């Protein structure tokens, strides 16, 4: 699914809670989420208000839009993960490092909805039940 610029801009203007709900639905629907990584393969994380956070988005276009609007994310790219691959390859590391998730950040001032990994997993599980 290719998003239009109009769709991207419309969703970017929504509240964090609306973007969070939208993200859960889209991630469940597509079995995919997107994070940022450097050219060397290191994942980009945010550090704000004493929290370490992994930013994620429901579609590649939103992640790429964040990168293009940011001054600090040069050289990074959007990387897609199936939910299974995300669970297998990232969740343990996130837990070990005490990281939170920031869902659908749109700017350095608006980091998206910040939730703990358990909350994200529980909310996503509820949404996945709707697809059975």
Report pLDDT digits (tens) over 93-126.
899 999 999 999 999 889 999 999 999 999 999 9
Tell me the two tokens of residue 129. Answer: 């039940």
Q: How many CB atoms lie within 10 A of CB 77?
A: 17
Tell me the two tokens of residue 74. Answer: 């040069």
Half-sphere exposure of 78 (CA within 13 A, CB side): 18
Q: What is the structure's pLDDT at 102?
A: 97
Reply yes or no on whether the pLDDT at 1 is more than 70: no
d(CA 70, CA 118): 28
- What average pLDDT does this structure show over 28-43? 93
Starting from the edge strand earliest in sequence, which strands make up the sheet with 100-103, in order? 46-48, 51-56, 100-103, 113-115
Q: What angle do CA 23, 25, 30 make, to 5 degrees?
A: 90
Q: What confidence tens digit (pLDDT) does each residue in 45-94 have?
A: 999 888 999 999 999 999 999 998 876 556 889 999 999 999 998 998 89
Domains of the chain: 5-129 (3.40.1350.90)
CA dihedral 11, 13, 14, 19 (to 10 degrees): 50
Q: What pLDDT band is residue 2 in, cutting at 50, 70 and 90?
A: confident
């Amino acid at each position: 699914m290719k998003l239009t610029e109009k769709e991207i801009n419309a969703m970017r203007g929504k509240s964090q809670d609306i973007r969070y709900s939208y993200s859960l639905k889209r991630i469940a629907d597509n079995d995919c989420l997107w994070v940022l990584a450097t050219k060397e393969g290191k994942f980009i994380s945010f550090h704000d208000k004493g929290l370490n956070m992994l930013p994620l988005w429901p579609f590649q276009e939103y992640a790429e839009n964040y990168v293009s609007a940011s001054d600090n994310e040069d050289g990074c790219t959007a990387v897609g993960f199936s939910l299974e691959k995300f669970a297998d390859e990232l969740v343990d590391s996130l837990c070990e490092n005490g990281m939170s998730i920031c869902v659908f950040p749109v700017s350095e001032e608006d980091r998206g909805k910040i939730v703990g990994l358990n909350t994200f997993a529980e909310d996503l599980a509820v949404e996945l039940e709707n697809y059975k």
